[in-house]
Amino acid sequence: MQNGIPPTPKAIDTLWQELASFWRQLPDKGVFFLLLAAWVALFQFWGNSTFGFVDTPSLFGWMHYVYRGSEDDSHGFFVPFIVLALLGWKRKELIAVPKRTWWPAMGLMVLAALLHIVGYLVQQTRVSVVAFFLGLYGLTGLVWGWRWLQATFFPVFLFLFCVPVGTMAETLTLPLRLLVSKISVFLSHTLLGISVQQDGVQIFSPTGSYGYEVAAACSGIRSLSALLGIATVYAFCVFKSPWKRLLMMAAALPLAVVGNVARLMGVIIVAETFGQRAGAYVETKFGFVTFAVVIVCVLVLGRWLEARKPEALPAWESKTV
């Protein structure tokens, strides 16, 4: 120990050494950052045409405004950091990937530019968000090659979670809330013998002793987005097979229903036994039950898939120690 500062743990030293080694071995960094600066400038100065919504020409200013104003979209602030962390996690694979200029990637950039032009003209800034990240992905392929594109598809795929849902949230999740309500009421009747009624997303006792709304925050887009994100990260980190990854991602929706039904039935049981106030306490303070149930289900499904036939690794990854 020197100057009262404890020594850096060996694991952290090793991590920084590997990251520094990866950075040194990465070719054409100057070219990449020059092109990146030009691409960012395009979206900074001509990225948003909806000035009645927020008075800024910047796509990034528009995204910041939306993320800050909507809890359903606030996770967009954290997605770039998750992507960077996962790229660091894949550093050994990325070091082993052959890197060279690949001109066909210009096709992705042209497609992204056209997509942005369309989004700009029709004032659909969400389209421009997709265009920005698609062009960023294409830019990495242009500088470092198609193998790089293949190796970084995930976690770059996670940038889709940066696209704000905004006012579309209710349209997308009202059916989910209705489904959760119907299943919970049906199970309460058939399995528990509790007489509870449903009116849309409202559930209540026939006697009027308690009543609740299946809130959008818990059973809507926020819940589904979080669970889809968890399932996606788990799928790509654990599996190489496309069908296993797709299965894990597709499972997010039914697992979101399972978790929300478990939580809502807990509210019904407590309200039936102890009254409105106790049920409301469970409804507001025990939202973590949804995620606890779903995470357990994700792990169980993941272990079952892991027990299937072992998967072959890509050629460059099989050489990585």
pLDDT in tens, 106-138: 999 999 999 999 999 999 999 999 999 999 999
Distance, in Å, from the CA atom of 235 to the CA atom of 242, rounded to the nearest integer, reads 9
Residue 282 in domain: yes
Q: How confident is the model at residue 318 (pLDDT cuts 50, 70, 90)?
A: very low
Residue 3 in domain: no
**Same-domain check for residues 60 and 117:** yes
Q: How confident is the model at residue 228 (pLDDT cuts 50, 70, 90)?
A: confident
**Same-domain check for residues 97 and 151:** yes
Distance, in Å, from the CA atom of 72 to the CA atom of 66, rounded to the nearest integer, reads 10
> Global pTM?
0.81
Percent of the chain with pLDDT over 90: 43
**Same-domain check for residues 281 and 200:** yes
Residue 5 in domain: no
**Same-domain check for residues 297 and 179:** yes
The domain containing residue 83 runs over which residues?
10-164
Q: Quick check: 17 pLDDT over 60?
A: yes
**Same-domain check for residues 144 and 182:** no
Provide the number of structural domains found in the chain.
2
Helix (H) or strand (E) holding 238: helix 221-238
**Same-domain check for residues 156 and 24:** yes
Q: How confident is the model at residue 144 (pLDDT cuts 50, 70, 90)?
A: very high
**Same-domain check for residues 228 and 88:** no
- CA geometry: angle at 153 spanning 238 and 124, to 5°? 125
Tokens of 119: 């989004």
Q: How confident is the model at residue 319 (pLDDT cuts 50, 70, 90)?
A: very low
Distance, in Å, from the CA atom of 251 to the CA atom of 301, rounded to the nearest integer, reads 9
**Same-domain check for residues 67 and 193:** no
Mean pLDDT of 211-222: 69
Mean pLDDT of 35-49: 97
Residue 36 in domain: yes
| pLDDT value for 316 | 45
Q: Quick check: 6 pLDDT over 90?
A: no
| pLDDT value for 1 | 46
Q: Quick check: 294 pLDDT over 50?
A: yes
**Same-domain check for residues 285 and 204:** yes
Domain boundary among 138, 164, 190: 164
Q: Quick check: 286 pLDDT over 90?
A: no
Q: Quick check: 311 pLDDT over 70?
A: no
**What pLDDT digit, counting tens, does each position of 73-92 carry?**
888 999 999 999 999 889 88
**Same-domain check for residues 53 and 179:** no
Domain boundary among 110, 134, 164: 164
Percent of the chain with pLDDT over 70: 88
> Which of 68-82, 143-157, 304-318 comes out lowest in average pLDDT?
304-318
- CA geometry: angle at 151 spanning 150 and 157, to 5°? 80
Tokens of 304: 């079952």
Residue 2 in domain: no
Domain boundary among 136, 164, 192: 164
At 214, the amino acid letter reads: V
**What pLDDT digit, counting tens, does each position of 238-261 carry?**
888 888 889 999 998 888 888 888
**Same-domain check for residues 119 and 137:** yes
**Same-domain check for residues 213 and 271:** yes
Residue 63 in domain: yes
